[in-house]
Amino acid sequence: MKYKSQKVAYYFFAFSMILLLLQVTYGFIMAFAHMGYDGLHEWIPFNAATATHKNLLVVWIISGFMGAAYFIIPDEADTELWSESLAKLQFWSWAIVGLIAVAGFHFGWFEGRKFLEIPRPLDYLVALNVVLFLVIILMTLLKGKRQTTTAWVLTMGLVFAALLYLPGMVYFENLAVDSFFRWWVVHLWVEGVWELIMGGILAYLLIRLTGVDREVIEKWLYVIVGLTFLSGILGTGHHYYYTGGPKYWLLIGGIFSAMEPLAFLGMTAFAVQMYRKGNKRHPNKLALYWTLNTAILSFLGAGLLGLAHTLPQVNLYTHGTLVTAMHGHLAFWGAYGSLVFAVIAYAMPLMTGRKIYDNFIGNLAFWTANIGMLGMTAAFAAAGVAQVSLERLAGYEFMEVAKVIEPHFFVLIIAATVFTTGILLFMWNFLLYGAPSDEAIQPEGEPVFQVVT
Protein backbone atom coordinates (compact mmCIF):
# COMPACT_ATOMS: atom_id res chain seq x y z
CA MET A 1 0.00 0.00 0.00
CA LYS A 2 1.42 3.32 -1.03
CA TYR A 3 -1.01 5.74 0.62
CA LYS A 4 -2.45 5.82 4.12
CA SER A 5 -5.95 6.69 2.92
CA GLN A 6 -6.20 3.46 0.90
CA LYS A 7 -6.97 1.79 4.22
CA VAL A 8 -10.58 3.05 3.92
CA ALA A 9 -11.11 0.16 1.53
CA TYR A 10 -10.92 -2.23 4.49
CA TYR A 11 -14.23 -0.98 5.92
CA PHE A 12 -16.00 -1.71 2.63
CA PHE A 13 -14.40 -5.12 2.24
CA ALA A 14 -15.34 -6.14 5.79
CA PHE A 15 -18.92 -4.87 5.30
CA SER A 16 -19.07 -6.73 2.01
CA MET A 17 -18.09 -10.00 3.73
CA ILE A 18 -20.74 -9.60 6.44
CA LEU A 19 -23.47 -8.93 3.87
CA LEU A 20 -22.40 -11.92 1.78
CA LEU A 21 -22.77 -14.16 4.81
CA LEU A 22 -26.25 -12.76 5.42
CA GLN A 23 -27.13 -13.20 1.74
CA VAL A 24 -26.13 -16.86 1.86
CA THR A 25 -28.22 -17.34 5.03
CA TYR A 26 -31.32 -16.00 3.27
CA GLY A 27 -30.53 -18.23 0.30
CA PHE A 28 -30.79 -21.23 2.63
CA ILE A 29 -34.11 -19.97 4.02
CA MET A 30 -35.47 -19.78 0.44
CA ALA A 31 -34.09 -23.17 -0.60
CA PHE A 32 -35.69 -24.85 2.43
CA ALA A 33 -38.99 -23.11 1.63
CA HIS A 34 -38.78 -24.51 -1.92
CA MET A 35 -38.41 -27.96 -0.33
CA GLY A 36 -41.57 -27.39 1.68
CA TYR A 37 -39.95 -26.34 4.97
CA ASP A 38 -40.97 -22.75 5.57
CA GLY A 39 -40.98 -22.73 9.37
CA LEU A 40 -39.85 -19.09 9.44
CA HIS A 41 -42.82 -17.95 7.32
CA GLU A 42 -44.41 -15.95 10.17
CA TRP A 43 -41.27 -13.85 10.66
CA ILE A 44 -39.52 -14.02 7.30
CA PRO A 45 -42.05 -14.74 4.54
CA PHE A 46 -40.61 -15.74 1.18
CA ASN A 47 -41.16 -12.31 -0.41
CA ALA A 48 -39.11 -10.69 2.40
CA ALA A 49 -36.41 -13.36 2.09
CA THR A 50 -36.08 -12.93 -1.68
CA ALA A 51 -35.93 -9.12 -1.46
CA THR A 52 -33.28 -9.43 1.24
CA HIS A 53 -31.29 -12.05 -0.70
CA LYS A 54 -31.23 -10.01 -3.91
CA ASN A 55 -30.57 -6.62 -2.34
CA LEU A 56 -27.82 -7.97 -0.11
CA LEU A 57 -26.22 -9.26 -3.30
CA VAL A 58 -26.37 -5.82 -4.92
CA VAL A 59 -25.11 -4.05 -1.80
CA TRP A 60 -22.23 -6.43 -1.03
CA ILE A 61 -21.02 -6.34 -4.62
CA ILE A 62 -21.24 -2.52 -4.77
CA SER A 63 -19.51 -2.30 -1.37
CA GLY A 64 -16.75 -4.42 -2.90
CA PHE A 65 -16.57 -2.07 -5.91
CA MET A 66 -16.41 0.98 -3.64
CA GLY A 67 -13.65 -0.62 -1.57
CA ALA A 68 -11.81 -1.50 -4.78
CA ALA A 69 -12.11 2.09 -6.01
CA TYR A 70 -10.82 3.52 -2.73
CA PHE A 71 -7.84 1.18 -2.94
CA ILE A 72 -7.12 1.43 -6.67
CA ILE A 73 -7.74 5.10 -7.50
CA PRO A 74 -5.11 6.58 -5.09
CA ASP A 75 -2.64 3.98 -6.36
CA GLU A 76 -3.38 4.73 -10.02
CA ALA A 77 -3.60 8.52 -9.57
CA ASP A 78 -0.51 8.48 -7.35
CA THR A 79 -2.00 10.57 -4.56
CA GLU A 80 -3.84 10.31 -1.23
CA LEU A 81 -7.65 10.20 -1.34
CA TRP A 82 -9.16 13.66 -1.69
CA SER A 83 -10.74 13.31 1.76
CA GLU A 84 -10.30 10.30 3.97
CA SER A 85 -12.75 11.57 6.59
CA LEU A 86 -15.48 12.10 3.98
CA ALA A 87 -14.79 8.60 2.68
CA LYS A 88 -15.36 7.24 6.19
CA LEU A 89 -18.55 9.29 6.46
CA GLN A 90 -19.64 7.86 3.12
CA PHE A 91 -18.97 4.35 4.41
CA TRP A 92 -21.00 4.73 7.59
CA SER A 93 -23.94 6.38 5.85
CA TRP A 94 -23.85 3.66 3.16
CA ALA A 95 -23.83 0.92 5.79
CA ILE A 96 -26.65 2.49 7.80
CA VAL A 97 -28.91 3.01 4.77
CA GLY A 98 -28.20 -0.54 3.56
CA LEU A 99 -29.02 -2.07 6.93
CA ILE A 100 -32.22 -0.01 7.30
CA ALA A 101 -33.34 -1.20 3.86
CA VAL A 102 -32.73 -4.86 4.72
CA ALA A 103 -34.43 -4.55 8.11
CA GLY A 104 -37.35 -2.73 6.47
CA PHE A 105 -38.08 -5.68 4.15
CA HIS A 106 -38.94 -7.72 7.26
CA PHE A 107 -41.61 -5.18 8.19
CA GLY A 108 -43.12 -5.12 4.71
CA TRP A 109 -41.36 -1.89 3.67
CA PHE A 110 -40.89 -2.60 -0.05
CA GLU A 111 -41.01 -0.92 -3.40
CA GLY A 112 -41.89 -4.30 -4.90
CA ARG A 113 -39.73 -4.26 -8.04
CA LYS A 114 -37.25 -7.09 -8.49
CA PHE A 115 -33.71 -5.97 -7.58
CA LEU A 116 -35.02 -2.45 -6.85
CA GLU A 117 -37.12 -3.25 -3.79
CA ILE A 118 -35.54 -0.50 -1.68
CA PRO A 119 -38.31 2.02 -0.87
CA ARG A 120 -38.23 5.44 -2.53
CA PRO A 121 -37.20 7.58 0.49
CA LEU A 122 -34.15 5.36 0.93
CA ASP A 123 -33.44 5.61 -2.82
CA TYR A 124 -32.80 9.35 -2.35
CA LEU A 125 -30.38 8.63 0.49
CA VAL A 126 -28.59 6.03 -1.65
CA ALA A 127 -28.34 8.57 -4.48
CA LEU A 128 -26.94 11.20 -2.12
CA ASN A 129 -24.42 8.74 -0.75
CA VAL A 130 -23.26 7.66 -4.20
CA VAL A 131 -22.83 11.31 -5.24
CA LEU A 132 -20.52 11.80 -2.24
CA PHE A 133 -18.59 8.65 -3.20
CA LEU A 134 -18.19 9.83 -6.80
CA VAL A 135 -17.07 13.32 -5.74
CA ILE A 136 -14.34 11.77 -3.58
CA ILE A 137 -13.19 9.46 -6.40
CA LEU A 138 -13.29 12.13 -9.12
CA MET A 139 -11.53 14.75 -6.97
CA THR A 140 -8.82 12.21 -6.15
CA LEU A 141 -8.40 11.37 -9.81
CA LEU A 142 -8.28 15.02 -10.87
CA LYS A 143 -5.74 16.08 -8.24
CA GLY A 144 -3.59 13.03 -8.96
CA LYS A 145 -0.13 13.05 -10.51
CA ARG A 146 -1.27 10.84 -13.38
CA GLN A 147 -4.53 9.81 -15.00
CA THR A 148 -4.46 6.28 -16.32
CA THR A 149 -6.86 4.56 -18.69
CA THR A 150 -7.49 1.90 -16.05
CA ALA A 151 -8.52 4.50 -13.48
CA TRP A 152 -10.79 6.32 -15.93
CA VAL A 153 -12.52 3.15 -17.15
CA LEU A 154 -13.19 2.15 -13.54
CA THR A 155 -14.38 5.64 -12.62
CA MET A 156 -16.62 6.02 -15.67
CA GLY A 157 -18.14 2.62 -14.88
CA LEU A 158 -18.99 3.91 -11.40
CA VAL A 159 -20.36 7.23 -12.73
CA PHE A 160 -22.58 5.53 -15.34
CA ALA A 161 -23.78 2.99 -12.76
CA ALA A 162 -24.92 5.90 -10.60
CA LEU A 163 -26.64 7.66 -13.53
CA LEU A 164 -28.43 4.48 -14.56
CA TYR A 165 -29.95 4.15 -11.09
CA LEU A 166 -32.08 7.22 -11.85
CA PRO A 167 -34.53 5.67 -14.41
CA GLY A 168 -35.39 3.14 -11.70
CA MET A 169 -36.52 5.98 -9.42
CA VAL A 170 -39.27 7.22 -11.76
CA TYR A 171 -42.78 5.85 -11.18
CA PHE A 172 -44.73 4.69 -14.23
CA GLU A 173 -48.40 3.76 -13.90
CA ASN A 174 -48.12 1.20 -16.68
CA LEU A 175 -46.38 -1.88 -15.26
CA ALA A 176 -44.95 -2.70 -18.70
CA VAL A 177 -43.32 0.77 -18.97
CA ASP A 178 -42.06 0.38 -15.42
CA SER A 179 -40.52 -2.98 -16.35
CA PHE A 180 -38.97 -1.43 -19.47
CA PHE A 181 -37.05 1.11 -17.41
CA ARG A 182 -36.31 -1.31 -14.59
CA TRP A 183 -34.14 -3.16 -17.11
CA TRP A 184 -32.36 0.07 -17.95
CA VAL A 185 -31.05 -0.17 -14.42
CA VAL A 186 -30.62 -3.91 -13.95
CA HIS A 187 -29.48 -5.03 -17.41
CA LEU A 188 -27.44 -1.96 -18.28
CA TRP A 189 -25.75 -2.36 -14.92
CA VAL A 190 -24.81 -6.01 -14.98
CA GLU A 191 -24.36 -6.48 -18.71
CA GLY A 192 -23.12 -2.94 -19.36
CA VAL A 193 -21.48 -0.48 -17.03
CA TRP A 194 -20.61 -2.97 -14.28
CA GLU A 195 -18.47 -4.63 -16.93
CA LEU A 196 -16.58 -1.33 -17.26
CA ILE A 197 -15.93 -1.53 -13.52
CA MET A 198 -14.97 -5.20 -13.93
CA GLY A 199 -12.69 -4.38 -16.88
CA GLY A 200 -11.01 -1.56 -14.93
CA ILE A 201 -10.42 -3.70 -11.85
CA LEU A 202 -9.25 -6.70 -13.91
CA ALA A 203 -6.83 -4.49 -15.86
CA TYR A 204 -5.42 -3.10 -12.60
CA LEU A 205 -4.97 -6.57 -11.13
CA LEU A 206 -3.41 -7.94 -14.32
CA ILE A 207 -0.96 -5.04 -14.54
CA ARG A 208 0.09 -5.67 -10.94
CA LEU A 209 0.04 -9.45 -10.92
CA THR A 210 1.47 -10.35 -14.33
CA GLY A 211 3.97 -7.57 -14.89
CA VAL A 212 2.74 -7.15 -18.47
CA ASP A 213 3.15 -3.62 -19.83
CA ARG A 214 0.30 -1.25 -18.94
CA GLU A 215 -0.03 -0.01 -22.55
CA VAL A 216 -0.68 -3.54 -23.82
CA ILE A 217 -3.25 -4.32 -21.13
CA GLU A 218 -5.07 -1.00 -21.48
CA LYS A 219 -5.27 -1.31 -25.26
CA TRP A 220 -7.10 -4.63 -24.92
CA LEU A 221 -9.18 -3.19 -22.11
CA TYR A 222 -10.63 -0.69 -24.61
CA VAL A 223 -11.39 -3.47 -27.10
CA ILE A 224 -13.18 -5.57 -24.49
CA VAL A 225 -15.29 -2.81 -23.00
CA GLY A 226 -16.04 -1.75 -26.58
CA LEU A 227 -17.32 -5.25 -27.36
CA THR A 228 -19.32 -5.19 -24.12
CA PHE A 229 -21.26 -2.08 -25.09
CA LEU A 230 -21.52 -3.07 -28.72
CA SER A 231 -23.41 -6.22 -27.74
CA GLY A 232 -24.76 -5.36 -24.30
CA ILE A 233 -26.68 -2.14 -25.03
CA LEU A 234 -28.97 -3.64 -27.67
CA GLY A 235 -28.77 -6.98 -25.84
CA THR A 236 -31.14 -5.32 -23.34
CA GLY A 237 -33.71 -6.41 -25.92
CA HIS A 238 -33.82 -9.93 -24.48
CA HIS A 239 -35.75 -8.47 -21.54
CA TYR A 240 -38.28 -6.91 -23.90
CA TYR A 241 -39.35 -10.05 -25.78
CA TYR A 242 -42.40 -10.87 -23.67
CA THR A 243 -43.06 -7.82 -21.51
CA GLY A 244 -45.29 -5.78 -23.78
CA GLY A 245 -42.72 -4.43 -26.24
CA PRO A 246 -42.97 -4.60 -30.04
CA LYS A 247 -41.88 -7.68 -31.98
CA TYR A 248 -38.65 -6.21 -33.36
CA TRP A 249 -37.03 -6.74 -29.95
CA LEU A 250 -37.16 -10.50 -30.63
CA LEU A 251 -34.83 -10.00 -33.60
CA ILE A 252 -32.61 -7.27 -32.16
CA GLY A 253 -32.41 -8.78 -28.68
CA GLY A 254 -31.76 -12.23 -30.15
CA ILE A 255 -28.89 -11.12 -32.39
CA PHE A 256 -27.12 -8.87 -29.90
CA SER A 257 -27.61 -11.25 -26.97
CA ALA A 258 -25.95 -13.95 -29.04
CA MET A 259 -22.98 -11.58 -29.38
CA GLU A 260 -22.75 -10.90 -25.64
CA PRO A 261 -20.67 -14.03 -24.86
CA LEU A 262 -18.05 -12.64 -27.26
CA ALA A 263 -17.29 -9.80 -24.86
CA PHE A 264 -16.92 -12.29 -22.01
CA LEU A 265 -14.84 -14.59 -24.19
CA GLY A 266 -12.64 -11.57 -24.96
CA MET A 267 -12.30 -10.93 -21.23
CA THR A 268 -11.27 -14.57 -20.65
CA ALA A 269 -8.79 -14.62 -23.55
CA PHE A 270 -7.41 -11.27 -22.38
CA ALA A 271 -6.77 -12.40 -18.81
CA VAL A 272 -5.41 -15.83 -19.72
CA GLN A 273 -3.19 -14.38 -22.44
CA MET A 274 -1.80 -11.71 -20.10
CA TYR A 275 -1.14 -14.40 -17.49
CA ARG A 276 0.73 -16.55 -20.03
CA LYS A 277 2.65 -13.56 -21.29
CA GLY A 278 3.46 -12.41 -17.75
CA ASN A 279 6.44 -13.40 -15.67
CA LYS A 280 4.56 -15.39 -13.00
CA ARG A 281 6.89 -13.96 -10.37
CA HIS A 282 4.28 -12.20 -8.24
CA PRO A 283 3.98 -14.16 -4.99
CA ASN A 284 0.25 -13.49 -4.44
CA LYS A 285 -1.09 -16.66 -6.06
CA LEU A 286 -4.52 -16.40 -4.37
CA ALA A 287 -5.16 -13.01 -5.97
CA LEU A 288 -4.07 -14.42 -9.33
CA TYR A 289 -6.36 -17.46 -9.00
CA TRP A 290 -9.38 -15.30 -8.17
CA THR A 291 -8.54 -12.92 -11.03
CA LEU A 292 -8.35 -15.72 -13.59
CA ASN A 293 -11.41 -17.33 -12.03
CA THR A 294 -13.37 -14.12 -12.65
CA ALA A 295 -12.37 -14.08 -16.30
CA ILE A 296 -13.22 -17.75 -16.86
CA LEU A 297 -16.40 -18.14 -14.79
CA SER A 298 -17.90 -14.91 -16.08
CA PHE A 299 -17.70 -16.37 -19.57
CA LEU A 300 -19.34 -19.62 -18.41
CA GLY A 301 -22.00 -18.10 -16.17
CA ALA A 302 -22.81 -14.77 -17.77
CA GLY A 303 -21.80 -15.60 -21.34
CA LEU A 304 -22.62 -19.23 -22.13
CA LEU A 305 -25.45 -19.85 -19.64
CA GLY A 306 -26.95 -16.50 -20.63
CA LEU A 307 -26.86 -17.54 -24.27
CA ALA A 308 -28.51 -20.83 -23.27
CA HIS A 309 -31.81 -19.03 -22.82
CA THR A 310 -31.69 -15.68 -24.60
CA LEU A 311 -32.69 -17.02 -28.00
CA PRO A 312 -36.32 -15.84 -28.28
CA GLN A 313 -37.61 -19.29 -29.30
CA VAL A 314 -36.05 -20.80 -26.16
CA ASN A 315 -36.81 -17.87 -23.90
CA LEU A 316 -40.53 -18.12 -24.69
CA TYR A 317 -40.51 -21.27 -22.53
CA THR A 318 -37.72 -20.54 -20.06
CA HIS A 319 -38.71 -16.91 -19.27
CA GLY A 320 -39.78 -16.66 -15.64
CA THR A 321 -38.54 -20.09 -14.59
CA LEU A 322 -35.71 -21.47 -12.48
CA VAL A 323 -33.55 -21.55 -15.63
CA THR A 324 -33.04 -17.83 -14.96
CA ALA A 325 -31.84 -18.66 -11.43
CA MET A 326 -29.32 -21.10 -12.93
CA HIS A 327 -27.83 -18.39 -15.15
CA GLY A 328 -28.11 -15.67 -12.51
CA HIS A 329 -26.20 -17.47 -9.77
CA LEU A 330 -23.15 -18.44 -11.81
CA ALA A 331 -23.14 -15.10 -13.66
CA PHE A 332 -23.14 -12.96 -10.52
CA TRP A 333 -20.66 -15.22 -8.77
CA GLY A 334 -18.33 -15.55 -11.74
CA ALA A 335 -18.32 -11.99 -12.96
CA TYR A 336 -18.73 -9.95 -9.79
CA GLY A 337 -18.48 -12.06 -6.63
CA SER A 338 -15.21 -13.59 -7.70
CA LEU A 339 -13.93 -10.17 -8.79
CA VAL A 340 -14.53 -8.68 -5.33
CA PHE A 341 -12.70 -11.70 -3.84
CA ALA A 342 -9.78 -11.07 -6.24
CA VAL A 343 -9.47 -7.44 -5.14
CA ILE A 344 -9.66 -8.41 -1.47
CA ALA A 345 -7.05 -11.17 -1.92
CA TYR A 346 -4.77 -8.67 -3.66
CA ALA A 347 -5.30 -5.65 -1.40
CA MET A 348 -5.39 -7.22 2.07
CA PRO A 349 -1.71 -8.29 2.26
CA LEU A 350 -0.72 -4.81 1.05
CA MET A 351 -2.97 -3.04 3.57
CA THR A 352 -2.04 -5.18 6.55
CA GLY A 353 1.52 -6.21 5.79
CA ARG A 354 0.66 -9.88 6.42
CA LYS A 355 1.84 -11.82 3.42
CA ILE A 356 -0.87 -14.48 3.13
CA TYR A 357 -0.32 -15.27 -0.53
CA ASP A 358 -0.80 -18.96 -1.07
CA ASN A 359 -1.91 -20.64 2.15
CA PHE A 360 -3.90 -23.86 2.57
CA ILE A 361 -7.07 -22.13 3.85
CA GLY A 362 -7.06 -19.72 0.93
CA ASN A 363 -6.65 -22.50 -1.62
CA LEU A 364 -9.34 -24.61 0.02
CA ALA A 365 -11.68 -21.59 0.05
CA PHE A 366 -11.06 -21.08 -3.66
CA TRP A 367 -11.89 -24.66 -4.64
CA THR A 368 -14.80 -25.31 -2.29
CA ALA A 369 -16.54 -22.02 -3.14
CA ASN A 370 -16.24 -22.65 -6.87
CA ILE A 371 -17.15 -26.34 -6.79
CA GLY A 372 -20.10 -25.51 -4.53
CA MET A 373 -21.35 -22.82 -6.90
CA LEU A 374 -21.01 -25.12 -9.93
CA GLY A 375 -23.06 -27.71 -8.01
CA MET A 376 -25.70 -25.09 -7.21
CA THR A 377 -25.82 -24.12 -10.88
CA ALA A 378 -26.36 -27.76 -11.85
CA ALA A 379 -29.15 -28.13 -9.27
CA PHE A 380 -30.91 -25.01 -10.57
CA ALA A 381 -30.44 -26.27 -14.14
CA ALA A 382 -32.07 -29.63 -13.33
CA ALA A 383 -34.94 -27.94 -11.49
CA GLY A 384 -35.35 -25.35 -14.26
CA VAL A 385 -35.38 -27.83 -17.12
CA ALA A 386 -37.88 -30.04 -15.25
CA GLN A 387 -40.07 -27.00 -14.58
CA VAL A 388 -39.98 -25.89 -18.22
CA SER A 389 -40.77 -29.41 -19.47
CA LEU A 390 -43.62 -30.10 -17.09
CA GLU A 391 -45.21 -26.68 -16.71
CA ARG A 392 -44.53 -24.83 -19.92
CA LEU A 393 -44.46 -27.75 -22.39
CA ALA A 394 -46.80 -30.33 -20.83
CA GLY A 395 -49.15 -27.90 -19.07
CA TYR A 396 -49.08 -29.15 -15.47
CA GLU A 397 -50.08 -26.68 -12.76
CA PHE A 398 -47.26 -24.65 -11.17
CA MET A 399 -47.80 -26.13 -7.70
CA GLU A 400 -47.89 -29.70 -9.02
CA VAL A 401 -44.53 -29.12 -10.65
CA ALA A 402 -43.18 -27.41 -7.52
CA LYS A 403 -43.77 -30.66 -5.63
CA VAL A 404 -42.03 -32.74 -8.30
CA ILE A 405 -38.89 -30.60 -8.32
CA GLU A 406 -38.45 -30.43 -4.53
CA PRO A 407 -35.58 -33.00 -4.54
CA HIS A 408 -33.50 -30.68 -6.73
CA PHE A 409 -33.57 -28.19 -3.87
CA PHE A 410 -32.11 -30.82 -1.58
CA VAL A 411 -29.19 -31.11 -4.01
CA LEU A 412 -29.05 -27.31 -4.09
CA ILE A 413 -28.75 -27.20 -0.29
CA ILE A 414 -25.91 -29.76 -0.33
CA ALA A 415 -24.02 -27.77 -2.98
CA ALA A 416 -24.77 -24.50 -1.18
CA THR A 417 -23.27 -25.98 1.99
CA VAL A 418 -20.03 -26.68 0.09
CA PHE A 419 -20.14 -23.14 -1.33
CA THR A 420 -20.74 -21.66 2.13
CA THR A 421 -17.78 -23.63 3.49
CA GLY A 422 -15.63 -21.90 0.88
CA ILE A 423 -17.03 -18.50 1.82
CA LEU A 424 -16.38 -19.13 5.52
CA LEU A 425 -12.82 -20.23 4.78
CA PHE A 426 -12.26 -17.07 2.73
CA MET A 427 -13.56 -15.04 5.66
CA TRP A 428 -11.27 -16.92 8.01
CA ASN A 429 -8.36 -15.82 5.83
CA PHE A 430 -9.81 -12.30 5.86
CA LEU A 431 -9.57 -12.35 9.66
CA LEU A 432 -6.06 -13.81 9.51
CA TYR A 433 -4.88 -10.78 7.54
CA GLY A 434 -5.81 -8.67 10.55
CA ALA A 435 -6.55 -4.93 10.44
CA PRO A 436 -4.78 -2.49 8.09
CA SER A 437 -1.67 -0.92 9.51
CA ASP A 438 0.34 2.22 8.74
CA GLU A 439 3.42 0.03 9.01
CA ALA A 440 2.37 -1.59 5.75
CA ILE A 441 2.83 1.67 3.83
CA GLN A 442 5.48 1.41 1.12
CA PRO A 443 6.31 4.97 -0.03
CA GLU A 444 7.70 3.67 -3.31
CA GLY A 445 4.66 1.49 -3.92
CA GLU A 446 4.63 -2.24 -4.47
CA PRO A 447 7.79 -3.44 -6.24
CA VAL A 448 7.15 -4.20 -9.89
CA PHE A 449 7.93 -7.78 -10.73
CA GLN A 450 9.70 -7.15 -14.05
CA VAL A 451 7.79 -5.49 -16.85
CA VAL A 452 7.29 -7.59 -19.93
CA THR A 453 6.62 -5.85 -23.23
Enclosing H/E stretch for 338: helix 338-352
Does residue 453 bind another protein (CB under 8 A)? no
- Minimum CB distance to another protein, residue 45 (Å): 5
Q: In the range 61-100, which residues lie near another protein by CB under 8 A?
A: none
Q: How far is CA 121 from CA 9, 57, 106, 255, in A?
A: 27, 20, 17, 39
Q: In the range 247-306, which residues lie near another protein by CB under 8 A?
A: 247-250, 252
Does residue 59 bind another protein (CB under 8 A)? no
- Minimum CB distance to another protein, residue 247 (Å): 6
Task: Spell out the long-range contacts of 221-227 with Cβ–Cβ below 8 A and sequence spacing 24 or more.
Answer: 221/149, 221/150, 221/153, 221/270, 222/149, 223/266, 224/199, 224/263, 224/266, 224/267, 224/270, 225/153, 225/195, 225/196, 225/199, 227/262, 227/263, 227/266
Nearer to another protein, 180 or 341 (CB): 180
Nearer to another protein, 254 or 349 (CB): 254
Stretch that binds another protein, among 110-118, 138-146, 330-338, 370-378 (CB under 8 A): 110-118
190 vs 390: CA distance, rounded Å = 31
Does residue 124 bind another protein (CB under 8 A)? no
For another protein, the binding residue among 22, 28, 99, 110 (CB under 8 A) is 110
Does residue 177 bind another protein (CB under 8 A)? yes
Q: In the range 345-384, which residues lie near another protein by CB under 8 A?
A: none
Does residue 151 bind another protein (CB under 8 A)? no
243 vs 179: CA distance, rounded Å = 8
- Minimum CB distance to another protein, residue 40 (Å): 10
For another protein, the binding residue among 94, 218, 303, 422 (CB under 8 A) is 218
Does residue 158 bind another protein (CB under 8 A)? no
- Minimum CB distance to another protein, residue 197 (Å): 15
Q: Which of 70, 49, 68 is nearest to 60 (CA)?
A: 68
For another protein, the binding residue among 207, 225, 347, 415 (CB under 8 A) is 225
Number of residues that bind another protein (CB under 8 A): 75
Beta strands (DSSP E) in 179-240 are none
Does residue 28 bind another protein (CB under 8 A)? no
Radius of gyration for the chain, computed over Cα atoms and rounded to the nearest angstrom: 21
Burial class (CB in 10 A: 0-12, 13-18, 19+), 439: exposed
